[in-house]
C-alpha cells in the first residue's frame, strides 16, 4: 500500500483525509498521463454520497485541464465503470466511492483500460505528483483543453449486458434486494424485473447521507427480517458501490461470499466450466468452505485479503471464479472486478437450473463460527507489531491448535486493525478475540470515533 492509495483506491473522510485538492491533482496527473499519445478518453462514475458530486467536479476540472475528454456515467456501480471502460476502449475509468464505508467517507478508485484496478506503479506516480516530488505538468490550452460528455448510455448498456447473462427466466421467484441507498438503487430492480422476478426492494431512496446507514451488506439483519416478513424466496444485499453481495436464504439465514463461492463453483464444475477445477479465495475464508470443497473434489488457492489480489491470482493462473467472504465475487468470463448484481444473478440462475432453494444448495457446508472485531487505532503498523500484542496472538494460536485459527491484519482502507478468530464454538471465538483486542486497547492504540 502507498501513502494515499490502499487496496481499494484513495479513501478517507471527505475534505479531511481526501480533499477536493487531492481529487483535482489526481485528475491533473491522470489526464496528462493518458494524453501523452493523443487525447485521452476517461469515464467517471459515482455513488450517492453527498461529497461524490464535489469530487466529480474536482476530478473533471483536473482531467480536462490536462487535456482529457471526460465521459460522465453519473450515479452507477463500480463494476459498470469497469465494464464500460474495457468494452468501449476508454483509456481509464474513475469510480468515486468509499464502498461500504459511512457517508462522510469517500474514495477515488482508478480502473485501467482493461477494466482492472490501476497498477501500483501508476498509483505511486500519482502520489509523487501529489507530494510535489515530480516536475510540474503543463496545462492544456486552446483546442487541447478537454471537454465533458454526458454518457448515461454507458450505464444503460451495462444494464443490458447484465440482463443478457442468465440463460433462464426468474419467473415466479420472489426476490428481495437491499440497495444500501447506494449505486445499485439506479440499476438492480430493473434487471430483476426484466428477467421476470417479483422484485421487492428496500433502501433505494438515497439522499446523500443515508448510504450504508443501517442497511445493505454491512447490516444484513435488516434484509434477513425483510425476507422472512414477506415470505421471499431469496434476498440480496449490496454495498454502496455494488461491487459486493451478501445473500439471505428463504429461512432468513446469511449466505456470505464463502457460501456463494461454493454454490456457484459447484454449479460451474457440474457444467464443465470450472477452469483448472479451482476456486480462488482469501486467507479470510472459512475452514468449513475448504472442508466442503475437499469433499466435492474442488481445489482452492488462498490470497491476501482484497479482490485485487484474488483477480491477480485468477489472471496469472487461468482460474475463472474467486472472491472474498465479504461478498466480492469475480466471474472472469463476465467481469474483471467484483460485481454484486452479477453475483446475485448467478446465484438465482443456479437455483433455477437445479430447482432447489438457496438453503438446499448450501446445506452441505458446515461453517465454523468466526468472530471479527475491528479496532480503530492510532497507528496500524505499531499496534500490530507491538511485542505484547504479538505475544497475545501467539498465546491464542497455542490455545486453538489445529481446531481453529487467529488472523490479525491491517485494513487496507481504514485506520483499523482487524482481529479474527475461527473456532469450534462462538464462546471460544469470543474469549480468544478479546485476549488480543484487550491488549491493543490496554497499550493505548485504540481510539474512539
SS3 302: strand
Q: Are 170 and 234 in contact (CB under 8 A)?
A: no
Q: Which residue has the cell 477515488?
A: 108
Phi, psi of 434, rounded to the nearest 5 degrees: -65, -25
Q: Which residues are catalytic?
A: 99
Instruction: Provide the grid cell at 306.
Output: 482484497
Q: Regarding beta strands 416-422 and 405-410, do their DSSP bridges make them parallel or antiparallel, or are they unpaired?
A: antiparallel
Helices (H), 148-249: 152-164, 188-194, 220-229
In 155-169, which positions are buried (b, 16+ CB within 10 angstroms) versus exposed (e)? beebbebbeebbeee
Angstrom CA distances, 373 to 81, 308, 407, 431, stand at 32, 23, 11, 12
Q: Is 239 known to sit in a ligand binding site?
A: yes
Contacts of 404 (CB under 8 A, 6+ apart): 287, 368, 421, 422, 423, 424, 428, 429, 432
257-270 and 287-295 helices cross at what angle (nearest 10)?
Answer: 10
Q: Is 243 known to sit in a ligand binding site?
A: yes
Instruction: Provide the grid cell at 88.
Output: 468501449
Angstrom CA distances, 47 to 182, 232, 240, stand at 6, 28, 7
Measured CA to CA, the distance from residue 421 to residue 243 in angstroms comes to 26
Summary count for the chain: helices (H), strands (E): 15, 19
Degrees, nearest 5: CA angle 413-417-421: 120
Instruction: Provide the grid cell at 287.
Output: 475452514
Instruction: Provide the grid cell at 428.
Output: 471460544
Instruction: Provide the grid cell at 175.
Output: 426476490
For residue 310, give the DSSP letter: H
* Binding site per annotation, positions for Mg(2+): 99, 239, 241, 243
* Binding site per annotation, positions: 99, 239, 241, 243
Amino acid at each position: 500500500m502507498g501513502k494515499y492509495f490502499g487496496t481499494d483506491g484513495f479513501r478517507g473522510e471527505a475534505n479531511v483525509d481526501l480533499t477536493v485538492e487531492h481529487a483535482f491533482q489526481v485528475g491533473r496527473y491522470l489526464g496528462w498521463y493518458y494524453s501523452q499519445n493523443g487525447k485521452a478518453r476517461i469515464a467517471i462514475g459515482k455513488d450517492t454520497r453527498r461529497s461524490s458530486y464535489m469530487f466529480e467536479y474536482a476530478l473533471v476540472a483536473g482531467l480536462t485541464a490536462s487535456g482529457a475528454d471526460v465521459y460522465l456515467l453519473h450515479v452507477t456501480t463500480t463494476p459498470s465503470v469497469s465494464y464500460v471502460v474495457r468494452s468501449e476502449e476508454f483509456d481509464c475509468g474513475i469510480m468515486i466511492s468509499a464502498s461500504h464505508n459511512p457517508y462522510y467517507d469517500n474514495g477515488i478508485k482508478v480502473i485501467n483500460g482493461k477494466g482492472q484496478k490501476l497498477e501500483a506503479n501508476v498509483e505511486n506516480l500519482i502520489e509523487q505528483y501529489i507530494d510535489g516530488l515530480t516536475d510540474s505538468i503543463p496545462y492544456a490550452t486552446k483546442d487541447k483543453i478537454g471537454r465533458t460528455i454526458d454518457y448515461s448510455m454507458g450505464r444503460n448498456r451495462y444494464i443490458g449486458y447484465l440482463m443478457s447473462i442468465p440463460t433462464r427466466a426468474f419467473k415466479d421467484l420472489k426476490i428481495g434486494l437491499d440497495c444500501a441507498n447506494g449505486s445499485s438503487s439506479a440499476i438492480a430492480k430493473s434487471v430483476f424485473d426484466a428477467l421476470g422476478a417479483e422484485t421487492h426492494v428496500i433502501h433505494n431512496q438515497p439522499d446523500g447521507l443515508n448510504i450504508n446507514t443501517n442497511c445493505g451488506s454491512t447490516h444484513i439483519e435488516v434484509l434477513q427480517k425483510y425476507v422472512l416478513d414477506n415470505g421471499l424466496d431469496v434476498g440480496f444485499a449490496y454495498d454502496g458501490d455494488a461491487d459486493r453481495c451478501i445473500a439471505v436464504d428463504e429461512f432468513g439465514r446469511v449466505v456470505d461470499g464463502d457460501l456463494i463461492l461454493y454454490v456457484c463453483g459447484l454449479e460451474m464444475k457440474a457444467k464443465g466450466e470450472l477452469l483448472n477445477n479451482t476456486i480462488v479465495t482469501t486467507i479470510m475464508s472459512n475452514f468449513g468452505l475448504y472442508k466442503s470443497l475437499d469433499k466435492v473434489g474442488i481445489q482452492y488457492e488462498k490470497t491476501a485479503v482484497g479482490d485485487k489480489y484474488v483477480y491477480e491470482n485468477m489472471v496469472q493462473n487461468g482460474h475463472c471464479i474467486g472472491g472474498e467472504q465479504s461478498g466480492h465475487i469475480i466471474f472472469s468470463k463476465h467481469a474483471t472486478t467484483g460485481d454484486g448484481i452479477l453475483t446475485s444473478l448467478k446465484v438465482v440462475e443456479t437455483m433455477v437450473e437445479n430447482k432447489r432453494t438457496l438453503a438446499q444448495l448450501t446445506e452441505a457446508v458446515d461453517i465454523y463460527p468466526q468472530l471479527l472485531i475491528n479496532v480503530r487505532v492510532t497507528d496500524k503498523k505499531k499496534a500490530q507489531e507491538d511485542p505484547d500484542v504479538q505475544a497475545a496472538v501467539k498465546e491464542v494460536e497455542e490455545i486453538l491448535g489445529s481446531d481453529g485459527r487467529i488472523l490479525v491484519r491491517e485494513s487496507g482502507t481504514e485506520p483499523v486493525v482487524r482481529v479474527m478468530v475461527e473456532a469450534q464454538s462462538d464462546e471460544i471465538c469470543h474469549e480468544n478475540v478479546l485476549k488480543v483486542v484487550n491488549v491493543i486497547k490496554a497499550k493505548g492504540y485504540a481510539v474512539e470515533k
